[in-house]
Amino acid sequence: MKQILQDLRNGTTSVEDVPSPKNKPEHVLIRSEYSLVSSGTERSLVKFGQSSYLNKARQEPEKVKQVLAKVKNDGIFETIEAVNSKLDQPMPLGYCNSGVVLETGIKGFSVGDRVVSNGSHAEVVRVPKNLCAKIPDNVDGKSAAFTVLGSIGLQGIRLLKPTLGETIIVSGLGLVGLMAAQMLKANGCRVLGLDFDSKRCEIANNLDIETLDLSRDNDPIASAIEFSKNEGVDGVIIAASSTSNEVIHQAAEMCRKRGRIVLIGVVGLNLVREDFYKKEISFQVSASYGPGRYDSSYEEGGNDYPIGFVRWTEQRNFEAVLEMMSSGSLDVKPLISDTFSIGEAEKAYDALNDSSSLGILVEYSTQDEQILKQTSIELNDTSGKLDSSEVNVGFLGAGNYSSRILIPAFKKAGVRLHSLVSDGGITAFYHGKKNSFNNSSSDDESVIQNPDINTVVIVTRHNNHASQVRKALQAGKNVFVEKPLAINLLEMDEIEKAYKKINLNKEKSPILMVGFNRRFSPHIQKMKTLLQEKKEPKSIIMTISSGKIPADHWTQNLKVGGGRIIGEACHFIDLMYFLIESPIQDFHVNSLGKKGTQTLEDKVSISIKFADGSLGLINYFSNGGIIFPKERIEVFCDNAVLQLNNFRKLKGYGWKGFKNMRTFRQDKGQEACAKAFVEAVKSGDRSPIPYSEIIYSSRKTIEIAESIR
């Protein structure tokens, strides 16, 4: 299918043939008919991409602080790679879509239904059930494409709470402002629209909306006061886009005592206390489409808010906008400036530079469902016969860690990169093309069931790991899975049963390895060599300043990411076991969090006692900030100490013949880990990390995490 993508590094917009997304539970698959280019949001994204690195930094001052902290802790080269990797991710553009349902697993939606959604500019989009709504029969597809943008204006109106007969100012007559003005009129309000663009004022006048053309040196405050019959307006909807703080100041000056201001646009927000204090004016920023926005439980999980408690959600706002279009109280046809085919997308985005353009539509004509549902795309010629003695690799997952770390590491190890899969297909296409994969896909089975692929690398969300590992092993593939192996003990049992069954039925079992890469760091290898000379019990302290992750991030979700002990601290539990070479006899966990909270596991001290008498303490803290180095390991043994700082510098105190070891750049062993795995596959040796150790570390990690839940 065709999709519009943007390159964040330079702002280039392109149309690419990418794999169609595969439908999943609680979602609908939609064949697009029209999508609307947002003249505000998308113009800003394009300008951001086209700006220099310096200007990008000026627009993201908080990100600059993070970058500087990373330079200090990890080094300049790692930081440059990380920044480039973040920018080197394809961005799908668009969020206003109308089309026809191709597939559905949702009650209330049937194949063939005409629907709107917040899907992107693509021939096929996959959308969660709460982010789409049916189109009334008398509303055409072009008009319906304005629904999502209209809901932004509607949500601002709901926050303003206008009543019949009130006087409202709409500052900014772009697409959202023009729709908001019409909806306010339908609500029985007297409306005055303000804009510097004479053409937009003319469009508003044709829609029976009174306007003030600011390009003619009209005084907005005096005009608004006069419009309100010298009482001051009841409320102001700010739909403008400006860096100036004057817009907010003027809005406050226009208002009567206890007036209301709601911001749905983007303006300067240096508020002057006196403006609001003397009139007790209320000010609120609206969150996009309405209740449910940015709530993963609502948007991705499909959990609706009860109508008796939350009358207007995102989805119900979509439905309300469509009903206003159906009744004729909202007319968006005069807002349509241009319509381009998907193949002319670059022209559509060039039209954004024309200040007179308003509604720019992208039209989709492909009807062939076989083409639209094609989940795999050939990137390079695969007609040549594959050599079965090669390590032919299929990657499941094309996110940041996969594209930045693992794909280059496996490529350097000399494998043949066969297929790359990502959930939506976009990153698989982009990074597959960049790294010379044969194919890109959105379907896991295209890798697992492909006889030409003998090795599978799994870098997906953690809740997918166990099932993908089992399927790949059962298909006879060698498996490298980025940690964790599983997120609960039931999944561990299923993996062990599958592996045992394969062992009984085959002379040679496929290799299974987890990406515990820190074992392969040159610093850790040196520590291991030094410690093997010591027979006495050891004391190890590992301090990890992990950094804060939002509570609603998928890694914090116990059902998806498994929590931060299973998802991240597993590295250090395994590493401690590797260095001490003794079973865990007992453990105890203290946490700063409360039971039942999702941040329970990111501020913990894990105290471990080993069978040989050694002691370990893992301090995994997210509350230390980003300035402190992320990882420090200290080993105390037989009147000597080893200290490793952030996998860059290892110092020895009291070790005969060893004082320090420093690498030019941070080395956590990712390349060496991938190389060791590939060499084992090539030679037919056992896994570089024994299966028994993988199972042991993974089980103990889950037991430690579950002990505090």
The per-residue pLDDT for 625 is 76
Q: Among all chains, which residue has been given the structure tokens 């700082």?
A: 645
- Look at residues 708, 701, 545 and name the one whose alpha carbon lies nearest to residue 608: 701
610 vs 612: CA distance, rounded Å: 6
Q: Is the pLDDT of residue 79 over 70?
A: no
Give the span between the Cα atoms of 491 and 497, in whole angstroms. 10
CATH number for domain 376-514, candidates 3.20.10.10, 3.30.465.10, 3.40.50.720, 3.40.50.300: 3.40.50.720
CA distance 551 to 594: 13
Decide: 459 and 399 in contact? Cβ < 8 Å.
yes
Q: Cα 390 vs. chain centroid, distance in angstroms?
A: 34
End-to-end alpha-carbon separation of the chain, Å? 45
pLDDT at 73: 63
Q: How does residue 45 score in pLDDT terms, banded at 50, 70 and 90?
A: low
Q: Is the pLDDT of residue 22 over 70?
A: yes
At residue 354, the pLDDT reads: 77
Phi-psi sector, 658: left (phi>0), alpha (psi -120 to 50), beta: beta
The helix, strand and coil proportions of the chain, stated in percent and rounded to the nearest 5, come to 40, 25, 40
Q: Exposed, middle or buried by CB within 10 Å (0-12, 13-18, 19+), for 180? A: buried
CATH architecture of 149-285: 3-Layer(aba) Sandwich (3.40)
The CA distances from residue 217 to 60, 201, 220, 515, 637, in Å, are 34, 14, 9, 65, 80
φ/ψ (deg, to 5) at 7 = -95, 110
Percent of the chain at pLDDT > 90 equals: 75
Domain ranges of the chain: 2-145+332-369, 149-285, 376-514, 517-706
Exposure on the CB side of residue 190, measured as CA atoms within 13 A: 11
What's the pLDDT score for residue 303?
A: 92
Q: Quick one: pLDDT at residue 461?
A: 96
Answer yes or no: are the C-beta atoms of 361 and 349 closer than 8 Å: no
| Residue of higher predicted confidence among 77 and 156 | 156
CATH 3.30.360.10 fits 517-706, yes or no: yes
Lowest mean pLDDT among 85-94, 358-367, 699-708: 85-94
Rounded Cα distance, 303 and 317, in Å: 16
Burial annotation 4-15 (CB, 10 A radius, 16+ → b, else e): bbbbbeeeebeb
- The span from the CA of 610 to the CA of 454, in Å, is 38
Asked if pLDDT for residue 75 goes beyond 70, the answer is no
What gap in Å lies between CA 609 and CA 348, rounded to an integer?
64
For residues 453 and 594, the model is more confident at 453
Whether residue 575 has pLDDT greater than 60: yes
Domains 2-145+332-369 and 376-514 share a fold: no
Domain at 2-145+332-369, CATH class = alpha beta
Distance CA 235, CA 170 (A): 9
The average pLDDT across 683-704 equals: 95
376-422 pLDDT per residue, tens: 999 987 655 566 678 999 999 999 999 999 999 999 999 999 999 99
Residue 593 confidence (pLDDT): 76
pLDDT of residue 596: 67
Maximum Cα interatomic distance, the chain, rounded to a whole number of Å: 91
What is the Cα–Cα distance from 55 to 237, expressed in whole angstroms?
30
